[in-house]
Structure 1
Amino acid sequence: MTPTMDQRCPCGSQLTLDKCCGRHHHGEPAPTPEALMRSRYAAFVLGLNDYLLATWHPTTRPVELAPDPETEWKSLSIVGAKPPLDNTGYVHFNACFYGRGRAQKGWHVLAEVSRFVKEQQRWWYIDGTPTLTRLKPRRNDPCLCGSGRKLKVCCGE
């Protein structure tokens, strides 16, 4: 996906991409663990794997991160973000997605408590404790993308 800076940010902030996560994608350090987590979610949505690797702490970063065209990220909700303590921060979030592959076909929610550390005047993603739950929304349920429309007329087409 090629992002345009005047589109709404995928992180759900209601701001445009250039005023929200796009500025972090272009080099401005994220000021908090929550801002970094939101920008990383937006990077997953937009397929910005270089940004994901660049914000991953070198001690836990994978060598490469393959694109995942089978996953369509739909929405992000922050469950809780603890104020950083001793240069360590935690963010608990839920991210809904639709999987198009055989192994994960259908709707899911990824819940994770992510751990971040501040070093060299910037926040880094260290790791997280994820859980994956399969969802079974009905056609008349609200869409999982957060649009407020029914699933059947939004992402469930």
Structure 2
Amino acid sequence: MVNPACPCGSGELLHACCGPYHAGTAAPSAEALMRSRYSAYALGLIEYLARSTLPAQQGGLDLNAVQAWSLGSTWLGLEVEQAQLIEGDPAHATVTFTARWRDESGEHSHRERSTFVQSQGHWYFIDPTVALTVGRNDKCPCASGLKFKKCCSGYF
């Protein structure tokens, strides 16, 4: 069996790039997590996409829609423009990227600046499409133990 190239565009083989993250190893950076999420879309790994989203948002994901988009698309490439670590406790990061895919309506390109938070040794994607009901003085949904206003409020 031939080892496939990783869909994230790193030039590495899947088993040496995003494959370990899909199998449960914690991604060492927000950029690595973002690349592994792109690869998961390309490979139809819907459970990984859910698992790598902020736990407080996982219940609000429309997994049927995610699966339909993932499996109904041919993934054409990923370009990472910038990854920026925002030091703190917890650490946050942004990753700016462009993803390309083709579906039944043609070829598409989407540029995005995604936000991530590190919690308990794992990086998580903060999904701006999943609403959270949290007050400024409530505990932050990233499980940092901080109040929302002192932690992730600027990312929702």
Whether TM-score is above 0.5 comes out as yes
Do residues 47 (structure 1) and 44 (structure 2) align?
Answer: yes
Q: Deviations over 1:122-157 (max 9, x none)?
A: 10011259xxxxxxxxxxxxxxxxxxxxxxxxxxxx
Q: Report the equivalent of 1:125.
A: 125
Do residues 113 (structure 1) and 126 (structure 2) align?
Answer: no
- Per the normalisation by structure 1, the TM-score is 0.73
Q: What is the total number of aligned residue pairs between the two structures?
A: 122
C-alpha deviation, 1:85, in angstroms: 2.0
Does structure 2 conserve the Cα–Cα contact (< 8 Å) formed by 1:113 and 1:128?
Answer: no
Does structure 2 conserve the Cα–Cα contact (< 8 Å) formed by 1:57 and 1:124?
Answer: yes
- In 2, Cα distance between equivalents of 1:60 and 1:110: 22
Q: Please, which of 90, 97, 102 is the counterpart of residue 93 of structure 1?
A: 97
- In 2, Cα distance between equivalents of 1:12 and 1:5: 17
- Per the normalisation by structure 2, the TM-score is 0.73
Q: Please, which of 45, 53, 58 is the counterpart of residue 56 of structure 1?
A: 53
Structure whose residues are more often helix by fraction: 2
> Structure 1, unaligned stretches of length 5 or more?
130-157
CA RMSD of aligned residues (A): 1.7
Q: Report the equivalent of 1:28.
A: 25
Does the residue aligned with 1:7 lie in a helix, a strand or coil?
coil
Q: Report the equivalent of 2:144.
A: none
Counterparts in 2 of 1:85 and 1:19: CA distance versus 1, 3 Å: same
Q: Report the equivalent of 2:143.
A: none
Q: Quick one: percent identity of the two aligned structures?
A: 38
> Structure 2, unaligned stretches of length 5 or more?
130-156
Does the residue aligned with 1:31 lie in a helix, a strand or coil?
coil
Q: Report the equivalent of 2:75.
A: 73
C-alpha deviation, 1:70, in angstroms: 2.4
- In 2, Cα distance between equivalents of 1:74 and 1:16: 17
The list of structure 1 runs, each at least 4 consecutive aligned residues, that deviate by more than 4 angstroms after superposition, is: none
